[in-house]
Structures are given as C-alpha cells and as structure tokens.
Amino acid sequence: MNVFTKIGYRIFQKSMWVVMWFLPWKQNKGILSGPGSIKQLPKWIKQKEGSKSALIVTDGGLYKLGIADPIKQAFEDEGIKAVVYHDVVPNPTLDNIEEGYKMYKDNDCDLIVALGGGSPMDCAKGIGARVMLPKKSIPQFKGPMMITLSKPFGKLPPIVAIPTTSGTGSEATLAAVISNPETHEKYPVNDTKIIPRYIVMDPELTIGLPPHITSTTGMDALTHAVEGYIGGENTPQTKRDSIEAVQLIHKYLKVAYDNGTDLEARNKMQYASYIAGRAFTRSYVGYVHAVAHTLGGHYGVPHGLANAVILPYVLEAYGKSAHKKLAELADCIGLQGANNAEKANAFIAWVREMNASMNIPDKIRAKDGSPLIKEEDLDDCIAKALHEANPLYPCPAIWGKNEIEAIFRKIM
C-alpha cells in the first residue's frame, strides 16, 4: 500500500473522530444489575415506557432451555402481552430480521427485548431499524449512521438488552453485525439509534453457560477493550473504560470459567463486557474484528472464538506501532518489563496464556480438527477483511493485502 493511500486513510479516520464528538451517544436510559434483577424488569419498563406488547428476541438454544419462559410470564403477569421470536442463528441473518419484524407487526408490539448474546441483540437492533424504516432493507443500512441519515429525527422502539453471556458488549454498542448466507457476507450496521435503551445484567442468567462459552465470550470482551484502547480514536472515557475492562477480565474471567456459579465473578464479567462495549463503540475496533467477521460470514466461526484465536497474532504483527499502548495495558494488570517492547510482549504472552488455560485453540479448525480455511477461499476472505477495515478502523498500523494474508496463514 502506497504512502498516499495511508495518509488518506488517516485523514478519513481523524475526520470520523471529530464527527463522533457530535453524535447523540446517550441512548441508554437505565440499567438493572445484580442477582434476580430480571424479575424487576416488567414493572420497571412499564413505568418508564408504558409498554403494552413486547417482542422477546432470542435463539433456539436459550428457548429450549426455557430461559425465555419465565420472562414472558413475568411480562404477562404485569399486564404486558409478550411473544417470543426464537429462531435467531449464531450469526443473525437477513431472514431472521425479517421474520422477527413480521412477528413484531403482527402482534402490535411496542417494545423489543433482546435475550441472549450478541446474535439476539444484533437481530433485535435490526428489527428495530426495520420498524422505524419499514420501506428500507437492512443492506441499505450498511456503513456509518445510515439509519440516522435516512430518518434523522426518527426513533426506534425501545430495546431492552438482557445479556446471557459476558463478552459481546452488544448491550452498549451502536453496531449490529448481520450475515447474508447467499453472498457469505457479514457486515456491521453502525448507528447510535440502535444502542439499546435499557440493560438488565442479572448474573443468575449466566450460571448455566458452558465453560467454552464463558471463555470465548470473555476473550471477546478483552478484544473489544484492547482494540478500543490501542486504536487512534480514543477519548478520555474510552481509555478509562478499556483499562477497567482489562483489569476486571484479568481478575474475574478465569474465576468465572473455573467456577461458573460464582455470582460475583459473573456479575463483574457482565460489567466488563458492558464497559468494553461502551469503549469500542466509540473508539472502533481493528484488524482482529475484520478477520473474525470474515471467518464468521464465510465459515460460521463463532465470533468470540475467532477473536480469541486471532488477537495475539494481530497484536504481535503490529510490532512497534502498538508497543506503547500495550505496555500501558500491561502496567494496569501488573505485568513487568524493562521497556515498552518487553511489557507489550508480556501482555501478548498473557493473552496466549489465558487462551491456553481455558482450552481455546491457537488455530482456526473445523470441529473434527481438520483445517477449516480453504486456500481457494483466501483471496475472497482477504478482500472482505480489508474492505471492512480500511479506511474505517483506526488501527495502530495500516495494513494491506500482504499483512492480512499473513494473519490468515498463521491461523490456518
């Protein structure tokens, strides 16, 4: 990549950083947190919004476990009609959004409740966008602030985010990542209008998480905090959020992984996920996410797993461009080194140690252990990752085809 292209990208990123100061960030109007807080939701939301009919958006796994049932019943006990859309897939599709949107309309809903991890939340955000702009399709919202540009003074129906994992940060973000199975494309819709208005962080909902979900979603939160911190569009608040999230993850993720019933660790990880999401939604992410989204869209690799595997390789490949900020993150969790380079390498080593201690692999493989990324798909994957990242993501270093290809080959 020539130097003039890189300069152009940096000018674009600096322009975006300036624009971000003028966006309406304060969409969140309230948080319920602590064991049992889910039981308070129906009365709480009725007082705040006067809701009469709720669409609960979740995935098939949570629905089969019966987690949506008591929430639905609690709404009905409060006099609020509730219906459940439970077909959200791990990387929510355009069809998921259209099906949920139809259920919302058919039942005269005025509230959307997203129950689960990032996929139900992203689907709920997409449904909300369709409710506000029924004549437009989700692909028309690709790119920054396209929903707002389409209807500057419009409002989405209130969205309540109830995370059952601790990692995606979707409860705090302006992003919804949508998949198109026909094109193998996975892309983000970014707009402050889709930031959930209310959040419920009840650690009791996360007790039943399998260890591998606890680990990969936790490392997803770490990726958000790290990429949000080392990029070039920080604010004082995003820096504070990223540092606190890294500290909480350092202290509590392995505890939650080893003892899934530890409510304090679970609740702290929920908060870490939230503030990491709040950080990266303002300061953006980087090449880890660009590659991970490509793997999710092309092969269905779970996002948290992809981020966990890719993170140390990308941090290492950034080299000197990331050493200072990685050293600062190393300092915040007590890692030692004689200089910035040593501290940065200590931080990367800690990431690898965390992965290994929670049985997260160091390569992207199929379920049977065979290679997943195919040589014949590589050019397309590289192109999609670069298209997502450049010029939008303010990474420590600007990469082209060769650097992205090197990351794919390291994880193959």
Query: In the chain, what are the domain boundaries?
Result: 24-206, 209-411
Task: Report d(CA 60, CA 88) in Å as an integer.
Answer: 7
- What HEC string does 245-263 produce? HHHHHHHHHHHHHHCCCCH
**How long, in residues, is the chain?**
412
From residue 39, alpha-carbon distances to 78, 172, 294, 367, 391 in Å are 11, 21, 38, 38, 44
pLDDT at residue 168, rounded to an integer: 87
Cβ-contact 341, 320 below 8 angstroms: yes
Q: Residue 160 — very low, low, confident or very high, per pLDDT cuts 50/70/90? A: very high
Task: Report d(CA 221, CA 308) in Å as an integer.
Answer: 9
Residue 54 CB contacts under 8 Å (≥ 6 apart), including other chains:
75, 80, 81, 82, 83, 109, 110, 111, 112, 113
Residue in the block written with tokens 């000018």: 11
CATH topology for 209-411?
A: Dehydroquinate synthase-like, alpha domain (1.20.1090)
Q: By mean pLDDT, which of 173-177, 252-256, 274-278, 326-330 is the weakest? A: 173-177
For the domain made up of 24-206, the CATH class stated in words is alpha beta
Give 306-326 pLDDT, tens digit per residue: 999 999 999 999 999 999 999
Q: Percent of the chain at pLDDT above 70?
A: 100
State the pTM of this model: 0.90
Give 341-368 pLDDT, tens digit per residue: 999 999 999 999 999 999 999 999 998 8
Phi, psi of 185 (to 5 degrees): -100, 140
Letter for the amino acid at 234?
N
Does the fold of domain 209-411 match that of domain 24-206?
A: no
Query: CA angle 82-87-89, nearest 5°?
Result: 135
From residue 28, alpha-carbon distances to 25, 62, 198, 387, 406 in Å are 8, 25, 6, 31, 40
pLDDT at residue 187, rounded to an integer: 77
Residue in the block written with tokens 């290492």: 316
CA torsion, ordered 189, 360, 114, 384, to nearest 10 deg: 10
Helix (H, G, I), strand (E, B) or coil at 15: helix
**Cis preceding linkage at 391, omega within 30:** yes
Q: Give the pair of three-digit tokens for residue 68.
A: 């949506």
Residue 58 is given by DSSP the state: E
pLDDT at residue 244, rounded to an integer: 98
Q: Residue 177 — very low, low, confident or very high, per pLDDT cuts 50/70/90? A: confident
